[in-house]
């Protein structure tokens, strides 16, 4: 009840946009990625690194971006690098390629050593399959970022709490 009242207060004072995440930056990164992919010698790989702050609802942002791109949300494949085995990583890469959908890797900053297995699985896909677009989600911690080589990076900022959300609107 208190949460609903606080949300209603924020909506009344600041409008509905204060509580919504803006996936605009991510949509721009996806558009840039698709343009670069069409040019053969762009040197870019099929990875979009998404930097988020703690407390952000990353799956919702990616589902909204998929909806904007015309991809149904239920076709997205989510996988946490922390719990995935090497076989599971390979299987999900092949599954995403067969379904022609996005593979979204969560917790990339926690298990960066497994990211090389994803890259090798992408490189060893059969030529009959299209290479899927892979999103590597990195949570900002102490300003240390993992950087995916040759990837487009989208910085999706979201305040950690309601207090920081409100302070962002104060003069």
Q: Of the CATH numbers 3.40.50.300, 1.10.10.10, 3.20.20.60, 3.30.300.30, which one belongs to the domain with range 21-169? A: 3.40.50.300
pLDDT the model gives residue 142: 40
| Helix (H) / strand (E) containing 120 | helix 115-123
Domain boundaries, given as residue ranges, for the chain: 21-169
pLDDT < 70 positions in the chain: 1, 17-46, 51-56, 139-171
pLDDT the model gives residue 7: 76
User: Within 13 Å, how many C-alpha atoms sit on residue 24's CB side?
Assistant: 3
pLDDT the model gives residue 90: 92
Global pTM reads 0.64
């Amino acid at each position: 009840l208190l949460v609903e009242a606080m949300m209603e207060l924020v909506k009344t004072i600041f409008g509905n946009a204060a509580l919504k995440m803006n996936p605009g930056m991510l949509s721009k990164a996806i558009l840039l990625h698709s343009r670069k992919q069409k040019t053969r010698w762009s040197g870019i790989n099929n990875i979009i690194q998404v930097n988020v702050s703690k407390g952000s609802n990353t799956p919702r942002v990616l589902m909204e971006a998929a909806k904007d791109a015309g991809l149904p949300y239920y076709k997205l494949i989510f996988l946490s690098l922390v719990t995935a085995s090497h076989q599971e990583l390979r299987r999900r890469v092949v599954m995403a390629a067969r379904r022609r959908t996005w593979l979204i890797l969560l917790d990339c900053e926690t298990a960066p050593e497994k990211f090389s297995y994803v890259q090798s699985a992408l490189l060893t896909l059969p030529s009959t399959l299209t290479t899927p677009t892979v999103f590597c989600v990195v949570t900002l911690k102490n300003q240390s970022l993992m950087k995916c080589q040759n990837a487009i990076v989208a910085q999706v900022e979201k305040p950690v709490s309601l207090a920081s959300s409100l302070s962002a609107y104060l003069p």
